[in-house]
Structure 1
Amino acid sequence: MTAPVFDRAFEPHYGTSIRLSPGIRRVVARNPSAFTFHGTGTYIVGEGTVAVIDPGPDDPAHLKSLMAALDGETVSAILITHTHRDHSPLAGPLKDLTDAPTYGFGPHAAGEDVEEGGDRDFVPDQVLTDGDRVSGPDWTLEAVHTPGHTSNHLCFAFAEEDALFSGDHVMGWSTSIVSPPDGDMAAYIASLRKLLTRSEDLYYPTHGNPISDAKRHVESFIAHRRDREIQILTCIARRIDRVADMVPAMYRDVPEHLHPAAARSVLAHLIHMTSEGRILCDTPEPTLRSRYSLRPERTGLQI
C-alpha cells in the first residue's frame, strides 16, 4: 500500500508567537488530541493590519496568547477554514476584542460529529465563495473552496508568498478524516486534484509543520485513497462485506480507539464507489450496517 510520508517532528511552543516567514506568524493552542496532533495552529498574516486564520478552540489561555501576539496591531479579518470546534469557536471572543469581521464559507452542515465535533454556533459575518479575496496593506488571501473533509472547508491562498493555508484538507502529520454525510469522498478527491492545478507548493496546515513539496504530498494522498479502495475491493472479494469487519482488516496498524473514525472514512469510500456503480449494497443507501458486494462488470478503480 502506498503510504504518504508524514512529518511528526513538531515543537508547538505553546502560547508563543513563532515567525514562519516574512508575512506569517503562528500561535499554537494547547489542545493536543488524536485528531488535532499537538494543537491548533492559529496564523497571523501580515504586519500592523493583519488577518487571523483559524482562531481555534474556545480557550481563554489561547485567546490571551493571541492578544499578546497581536499587541499594537489591528485585526481586520478573522478567517475560518471550516467549522470544527478546534478551529472556529474562538472567532467570537476574538471579534469581541478586536471588532474584526469574521469570514467563512458558511455555518456547519448537519451530520454526525467526529474528531473534535462541529461548531454549530459559528455564522460568518461575510460569506466567502471560491475565488473571493480578502486583503490588507501587505497581504491578499484568496478563498479556495475545498469540500470533502467538510462541505464548508476553505483553503486560503496567500498571494504575496505563493503559499496556501490548507486547514485540515492537507496536513503533513496525517491524512484527513472524511465522515459522511457532511464529509464526501468524491468531493475530497476532487478538491485534492484541484490543488494540483494551482501554483502553490508550500502549505501551512492548521495542525503540524508547513509542508514543502506540497504537490507531491497531495499526489501521495490521492494514491493513498486509491489504495484504500483496493483494500475495500479485496475485503469484499473475501466476503468481508460490512464496515465493522473491514476496518480491523484495513487498519491493523491503527489503535482501536480510532477505529470508529476510520469506519466513517471507509463508509465515505463505499458511498463514493456505490454512487459510481462499482459496488452494490443491500440497503437503499450505503450505511455502516449495509452489506456490500462486487459488481463483476465494474470493479475497476476510477479515482
Structure 2
Amino acid sequence: MCTTNSTNQPPSSPHLPPLAPLTALTPTTTRIIAPNPGPFTLQGSNTYLLRHPSSPHTATLIDTGAAGDVARKWVEMVKNVVREWRVGELGIVLTHWHADHVGGVDELTKMAKEENITMTFHKYHTPDPKSSINSLEGTQFIPLHDGDRLAHLDIITTPGHTSDHICLYDPHTHTLFSGDCILGHGSTVFENLTTYIASLRKLLSFLPVDTQTVLYPGHGDVLPDARAAIEGYIRHRMEREAQIVGILREREGVAGVDEIVKVLYPDMPEGEARLRGAARRGLGLHLGKLRDEGRVVCRGVGGGEVWEIVDRGSV
C-alpha cells in the first residue's frame, strides 16, 4: 500500500549557534530553554515567559519543555524569573501536544504550589484523538479557539505540524510565537503538507504589512522578520515540490520513492538509516499532497510501489 501520512523529519545540520539557557529578549519577555538539545529539538525546547503589560504580577508561559531531569532543571530557571517578577498568577499555554512542549507540566505544577502561584493551563482541542489531550498529570486544560485572546496574546490555529498546533501573536510588541510551525534554523516537521502550507499562508495574512514582526520559534534562535521566514518556508516547499515533479518527468513520469530520495539527497550517507527514513517520510508527504490534488497516483504495493504523473502534459 502507498502510505503518505507519517511525520517527516528533514536532515538537519549539527552546526548550530549556542544559545544561553535563559535570555531576557525584552523587558517583558524571557526565553527559557529546556536542556534537551538534539537533531530534532536543535538547542533545546524554547519556552517563553511573558509579563503582562498592564498587570506586572501576572505572567503567561508558552510551552513547558520536556519531562524528567530536563523538566527539573528547566523549572528551576522558571522559578528564578517568577520570583524576580513576583508573579502571583501564571497562565500556561501549550502550542501543541508533543512531549518536548508539554513534558514540564508536572514539575511546573509542583513549583506553583511551593511558590503559592495560581495557575491555569490552556490548549487548543481538536477531534483528532492523537492530539485531543484535555488533561495531563491530572491537570485540566482550558480549551482555546481560533481568534481567542489569552491575556494580551491572539490565538491563531495553525494545523499541519500537528492537528492541534497554534501560534500566538502579541500586537503590542509585533511578536509572533510560532511553536514548531516555523523554527529558528532549518525546516520543520509536519503531519499534513496541504494543511501546513495553508497555515503558513494564514499566518502571512494575519501579520501586519506595515510593521516588521519578530518571530520567536519553538526551537532555535529568534528570527527578526517573521514574514520573510514564512515566505521562505513556503518557497522551500514549493521548490521541493517542483524538484519532485521534475524528477518524475525525467523518468518518463514514473519513479519509486528510494529513487527520488537519492536524487533529492545525493550527499546523504548510505548508512544513515534514520535520516534516510526521515527523508522518505518527508517525500511521502509531498507526494501525498500531489496525489490529493490529482496530479500523481501511486501504483504497486510494498517495496515495489511507484509514483506516476497523471497527466504528463499538465503537471
Pairwise TM-score range, normalised by the shorter structure: 0.7 to 0.9
- TM-score with structure 2 setting the length: 0.79
2:39 equivalent in structure 1: 34
Percent identity over paired residues: 30
- Identify if the C-alpha distance between structure 1 residues 225 and 289 changes in structure 2 by more than 3 Å, giving closer, same or farther: farther
Aligned residue for 1:100, secondary structure, equals strand
Alignment of 1:267 onto 2:291: no
Aligned residue for 2:259, secondary structure, equals helix
How far residue 253 of structure 1 moved from its aligned partner, in angstroms, is 4.5
Partners of 1:80 and 1:88 within 8 A in 2: yes
2:297 equivalent in structure 1: 280
2:9 equivalent in structure 1: none
Tell me the amino acid that sits aligned with residue 132 of structure 1: D
Query: Which protein has the bigger helix share?
Result: 2
How far residue 227 of structure 1 moved from its aligned partner, in angstroms, is 1.1
Alignment of 1:93 onto 2:75: no
Distance 1:170 1:124 in 2: 27
Q: Which of 51, 60, 67 matches 1:51?
A: 60
Q: Which of 220, 238, 247 matches 1:226?
A: 238
- TM-score with structure 1 setting the length: 0.82
Partners of 1:279 and 1:298 within 8 A in 2: no
- Identify if the C-alpha distance between structure 1 residues 95 and 215 changes in structure 2 by more than 3 Å, giving closer, same or farther: same
Rg bigger for which structure? 2
Tell me the amino acid that sits aligned with residue 282 of structure 1: R
1:11 equivalent in structure 2: 18
If asked which structure has higher relative contact order (CA below 8 Å, sep 6+), I would say 2
Query: Which protein has the bigger strand share?
Result: 2
- Identify if the C-alpha distance between structure 1 residues 90 and 188 changes in structure 2 by more than 3 Å, giving closer, same or farther: same
Tell me the amino acid that sits aligned with residue 294 of structure 2: G
Aligned residue for 2:90, secondary structure, equals strand
Alignment of 1:129 onto 2:148: no
Aligned residue for 2:231, secondary structure, equals helix
How far residue 273 of structure 1 moved from its aligned partner, in angstroms, is 0.6
Aligned residue for 2:98, secondary structure, equals coil
1:258 equivalent in structure 2: 275
Greater alpha carbon shift after TM alignment, 221-230 vs 121-130:
121-130
Q: Which of 145, 157, 166 matches 1:154?
A: 166
Partners of 2:125 and 2:134 within 8 A in 1: no
- Identify if the C-alpha distance between structure 1 residues 63 and 299 changes in structure 2 by more than 3 Å, giving closer, same or farther: farther
How far residue 75 of structure 1 moved from its aligned partner, in angstroms, is 4.1
Tell me the amino acid that sits aligned with residue 294 of structure 1: I
Unaligned runs of 5+ in 1: 1-5, 112-117
2:215 equivalent in structure 1: 203
1:115 equivalent in structure 2: none
- Identify if the C-alpha distance between structure 1 residues 288 and 167 changes in structure 2 by more than 3 Å, giving closer, same or farther: farther
